[in-house]
Amino acid sequence: MAPPDARRHPDAAPAASESPIVSTQAGASSERASWLAEASGAFGDLGVLIPFVTAYLGVVGMAPTGVLVPIGLASLAAGLWYRTPFPVQPMKLIGASVILYAGSGVEMTPTVVVAAGLCTGLIWLALGLTGLAARLSALIPREAMLGVVMGLGFGFMLEGLRAMSATPVASGLTLAVAMVLLSRPTIPTMLVLLFGGATASLLGGGAAAFDASRLVPALTLPTPAWPQLSWHAAELGLLLLALPQLPLTFGNALFAVVDENNRRFPDRPTHERTVALSTGLMNLLSSALGGIPLCHGTGGMAAQVRFGARSGRAPLIFGATMLAIGLFFADAVSLLFALVPAAVLGSILFLAGLQLALGSRAEGGQKAERFVVLATAGIAVWHAGLAVLFGVLAHHAAKRGWVRL
């Protein structure tokens, strides 16, 4: 029979032989370890965030405050509401499309990105309020979306190669170092590339452009972006960016993230309508402050959990960090990206495209299905919206035997 102390209720006072001081210290140590694990998990998704923020700041020319502050606010809200490591990420298809179109000469300005976020927010609010999200998602075949994501990954890689072409030797060495670092998941590869590239630029003669005063904290508030919108920007943002993103968001940032959250944290469940409304609201906020389109990607939750996150404290830590950087260190962020060499910027874009394309890999499949994926990918390098339309039509044509390979 177990001794009486071993069966004592867990809320009972410590036995005489126990030291309250030791118990308190053990609890404090456990709490510190928990916060450290949450902090580690909070930044487990930087490998996705940094390449897209790099592209928006370095290629499109968006303001750091406008990009980072909404991400911080949305992450704080997600942590408080969902109470799980619920991620806030840039919308991948929109981010890749912006780079692809900018590289091909299509007008991709910060205003167009803001318009895309506004349209995205309105669409997802409507889908969440009406319950149409589930019904519309069934209309987009999986092969079509895999092809679009693969093609946009190729486009990202091409843009990276263009940036790398000016300094092929330095770019090759940077890419080789990055490949080695990526094999070690505990190393924040993208951060190493950014700060390593800036340091190399300073040592290589960029010190003249270094202004130490820009490292001093200074409050910078986002500028309201809606007054600068035009009908032309809204048209480009809706047709080229917001609408093509919808099917991918249905799968990855709505149904999949709800399933992942409820599977990992059954005591803190959520549902599709809540996530749809959350997506709509945070995009309205982001676009109003001059930010980028945002979503709740499944990969972000998996990455945070992998590095130790188990509660809403992880997005709270991440959100507070992004908010502080955006509000007080915007000049330092601008300086960092001004110092990053083209070889590093190109390598980051290339690796982001590679990861995007790898994420669209289809397991097995019939020849007709592979045809839809690859043909859609080829068209997506040119135009993401038409690629979605082609993928849907090609899928149904192959299914009915109208296309024989």
Q: What is each CA distance from 217 to 236, 320, 333, in whole angstroms?
A: 36, 16, 11
Nearest residue to 112 (alpha-carbon basis) of 222, 224, 235: 235
Closest CA to 55 of 332, 377, 340: 340
Phi–psi pair at 393, nearest 5 degrees: -65, -45
**Structure confidence at residue 11 (pLDDT):** 37
Cβ contacts of residue 397 below 8 Å, gap of 6+? 403
- What pLDDT was estimated at residue 350? 82
pLDDT recorded at residue 334: 77
> CA-CA distance, 89 to 49, in Å (whole number)?
7
**One-letter identity of residue 160:** G
Distance CA 349, CA 312 (A): 30
Closest to 254 in 3D by CA, of 87, 52, 76: 87
Quote the pLDDT of residue 2. 42
Residue with tokens 């945002």: 294
pTM above 0.75, yes or no: no
Q: What is the pLDDT of residue 107?
A: 83
Mean pLDDT of residues grouped by 10 in the chain (405 residues)? Answer: 40 43 48 70 75 84 93 96 92 83 83 95 91 65 71 75 82 85 71 78 64 77 94 92 80 73 89 90 96 85 78 92 92 77 79 70 62 75 68 77 66
Q: How many CA within 13 A on the CB side of residue 304?
A: 33
